[in-house]
Amino acid sequence: MSRVKANVLPQEILQSPGEHPRFIKQTLGPSLDFARIHLIKDKDVIDDYLAKNIKGLSKQEAAANRNSYKKNICIDMLRQGYHKSFSELFSLIEKWNALREAAGPGSAIWQQKSLEEQPDKLDQLYHFLTRAEAAQRAGHYEEVYDNQLNLAYYFNDPEDKWLSNYFHEQCFNTAKLITTDIRKREAQAHANMGLIKEEQGHVLKAAEYYEIFYHLTVGSTWKDVTGHTYNSLASEYLWRIYTLLADKMLENKEHQQAIKTLKKALKMAKNVGEMKIQGEATYCLSLAYYFAGEYQKALSTLDTSVKIFTPLCESAGLSRAYAAIAKILVSQGKAAETTKRLEEFMKAAENAHLSQSQVDACVLLGNIYNERGSYNEACEYFSQAYETAKTLNNLPLVDETKAYCGIAKAHKLMVPFNSHIEVEDLISLKYLLAWKENRSDMCTDPLTVEPDKETSASEPCEPLLETPDLDPS
Q: What is the DSSP string of 52-77?
A: HHTTT--HHHHHHHHS-HHHHHHHHH
Check if the beta carbon of residue 277 is closer than 8 Å to that of residue 269: yes
Residue 55's pLDDT is 56
Overall residue count recorded for the chain in this entry: 473
Q: Residue 103: what pLDDT?
A: 86
Identify the three-state secondary structure at position 420: helix
> Is the Cβ–Cβ distance between 84 and 114 less than 8 Å?
no
64: buried, middle or exposed (CB in 10 Å: 19+, 13-18, 0-12)?
middle
Nearest to 174 by CA among 207, 211, 137, 143: 143
pLDDT tier, 132 (very low <50, low <70, confident <90, very high otherwise): very high
> Judging by beta carbons within 10 Å of its beta carbon (0-12, 13-18, 19+), is residue 383 exposed, middle or buried?
buried
Q: Which residues contact 83 (CB under 8 A, 6 or more apart)?
A: 77
Which residue spans within 143-231 are E strands per DSSP?
Answer: none
What 8-state DSSP symbol labels residue 223?
A: B
Mean pLDDT score, 84-96? 94
437 burial (CB, 10 Å; 0-12 / 13-18 / 19+) is exposed
pLDDT band with cut points at 50, 70 and 90 for residue 414: confident
Phi then psi for residue 229, to 5 deg, are -75, 150
State the amino acid at position 445 in one-letter form. Answer: D
pLDDT at 133: 97
Q: What pLDDT shows up at residue 37?
A: 43
Q: Which of 212-226, 387-401, 441-455 has the lowest mean pLDDT?
A: 441-455
Name the DSSP class of 347.
H
Burial 137-155 (b: 16+ CB within 10 A, else e): eeeebbbbbbbbbbbbbbb
Distance CA 316, CA 301 (A): 17
CA–CA gap between residue 150 and residue 152 (Å, rounded): 5
* pLDDT at residue 82 is higher than 70: yes
Return the percentage of the chain with pLDDT > 70, whole number. 83
pLDDT at 35: 46
Which residues are CB-neighbours of 157 under 8 A, at least 6 positions away?
none
More confident position, 468 or 229: 229
Cα 320 to Cα 86, 282, 324, 367, 390: the distances in Å are: 56, 12, 6, 15, 22
Interval 291-305 mean pLDDT: 97
SS3 229: strand
Cα–Cα distance for residue pair 125/93, rounded to 1 Å: 11
- For the chain, what is the radius of gyration of the CA atoms? 34
**In the prediction, which pLDDT does 33 show?**
61
Nearest to 242 by CA among 211, 264, 274: 264
C-alpha span between 64 and 198 (Å, rounded): 45
What are the φ and ψ backbone dihedral angles of 165, each rounded to 5 degrees?
-60, -40
Residues 388, 355: contact at Cβ < 8 Å? yes
pLDDT score recorded for residue 44: 56
Is the pLDDT confidence value at 386 over 50? yes
Give residue-wise pLDDT tens across range 155-206. Answer: 988 889 999 999 999 999 999 999 999 999 999 999 999 999 999 999 999 9
Note the pTM of the prediction, 2 decimals: 0.81
Q: Is the pLDDT assigned to residue 41 strictly greater than 50?
A: no
